[in-house]
């Protein structure tokens, strides 16, 4: 069967449009193109359809259970697993107290289980109680995979963490608000999760 041929009655998404293979073995549109970003074509075997596509959180977007203090001028990074091609709308962390501290965040690639190359940085935001939201400097869409969500503060920052088997984060001395092009050799903290998160929206 040629690359442009298919098995009759199978379905797929193509250019954010649900398609069905017809009796002659050719792809035909099953419906109109999904209206991105509010809807997206999804394949739920054996059918494809346009489904609602709201933004959602990845990481820890609600306050964890243990008080933590994140030191000024240190880079902190936690793994972030992205399950589908998605746009990063904002990056954030949970503040425990308000104060004079400011935070800037960034996304790094993963290289053999450690932060690798810098992907994107965000705007600066003053800490407050609850969600502290920073916005990527440029619109950013990433493929599925593991990344590292990093933050640096200009003053000591109060947040939260939790003991959680199998989780970890890394830290290394830095200089606010700089994110190196490649994440420096860092110290691993095992079985502890920090209160960082991303808000994302899947893309076709």
Q: Are 185 and 37 in contact, with CB atoms under 8 Å apart?
A: no
pLDDT at 70 over 90: yes
* pLDDT category of residue 68 using cuts at 50, 70 and 90: very high
Residue listed under structure tokens 């935001």: 125
pLDDT (0 to 100) of residue 11: 97
Q: What is the DSSP letter of 67?
A: E
Q: What is the pLDDT of residues 123-142, one digit of tens each?
A: 999 999 999 999 999 999 99
What is the distance, to the nearest Å, from the Cα of residue 50 to the centroid of all Cα atoms in its chain? 23
Q: How many residues does the chain have?
A: 204
pLDDT of the residue at 3: 67
CB 93 within 8 A of CB 183: no
pLDDT at 99: 85
Q: What is the pTM of this model?
A: 0.92
Examine the domain organization and report whether 21 and 98 are in the same domain: no
Average pLDDT value over all residues in the chain: 96
- Which residues span the domain enclosing 67? 56-202
Q: Is residue 89 part of a domain?
A: yes
Residue 125 and residue 46 share a domain = no
> Does 6 map to a domain?
no
Phi-psi region of 45 (alpha: psi -120 to 50; beta: other; left: phi over 0): beta
Percent of the chain past pLDDT 70, that is, above it, reads 99
16 secondary structure, DSSP code: T
Domain count, the chain: 2
Please tell me the predicted confidence (pLDDT) of residue 71.
97
User: Is residue 167 within 8 Å of residue 113, measured between CB atoms?
Assistant: no
Please, which pLDDT band fits residue 2 given cuts at 50, 70 and 90?
low
Based on the number of CB atoms within 10 Å of its own CB, is 35 exposed (0-12), middle (13-18) or buried (19 or more)? exposed
108 and 23 inside one domain:
no
Quick one: 108 and 161 in the same domain?
yes
pLDDT tens digits along 46-60: 999 999 999 999 999
pLDDT band at 7 (very low <50, low <70, confident <90, very high): very high
CA atoms in the 13 A half-sphere facing the CB of 35: 3
The answer to whether residue 3 sits within a structural domain is no
Q: Is residue 39 part of a domain?
A: yes
The DSSP-derived string for 107-150 is EEEEETTEEEEEEEEEEEEE--SEEEEE-BSS-EEE-SEEEEEE
Domain match, 42 and 131 both = no
C-alpha distances (whole Å) from 97 to each of 40, 63, 147, 166, 198 are: 38, 12, 28, 28, 20
Tokens of 134: 């920073």
């Amino acid at each position: 069967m040629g690359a442009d041929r298919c098995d009759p009655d199978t379905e797929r998404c193509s250019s954010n449009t649900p398609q069905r293979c017809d009796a002659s073995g050719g792809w035909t549109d099953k419906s109109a193109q999904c209206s991105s970003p509010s809807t997206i074509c999804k394949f739920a075997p054996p059918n494809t359809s346009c489904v609602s596509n709201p933004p959602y959180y990845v990481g820890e977007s609600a306050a964890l259970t243990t008080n933590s203090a994140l030191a000024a001028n240190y880079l902190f990074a936690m793994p972030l697993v992205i399950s589908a091609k998605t746009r990063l709308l904002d990056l954030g962390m949970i503040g425990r107290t308000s104060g004079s501290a400011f935070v800037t965040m960034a996304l790094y690639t993963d290289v053999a289980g450690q932060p690798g190359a810098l992907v994107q940085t965000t705007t600066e935001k003053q800490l407050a109680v609850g969600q502290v939201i920073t916005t990527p400097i440029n619109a950013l869409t990433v493929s599925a995979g593991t990344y590292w969500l990093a933050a640096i503060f200009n003053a000591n920052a109060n947040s939260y963490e939790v003991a959680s088997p199998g989780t970890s984060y890394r830290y290394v001395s830095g200089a606010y608000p700089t994110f190196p092009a490649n994440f420096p050799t860092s110290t691993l903290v095992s079985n502890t999760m920090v209160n960082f998160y991303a808000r994302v929206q899947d893309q076709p």
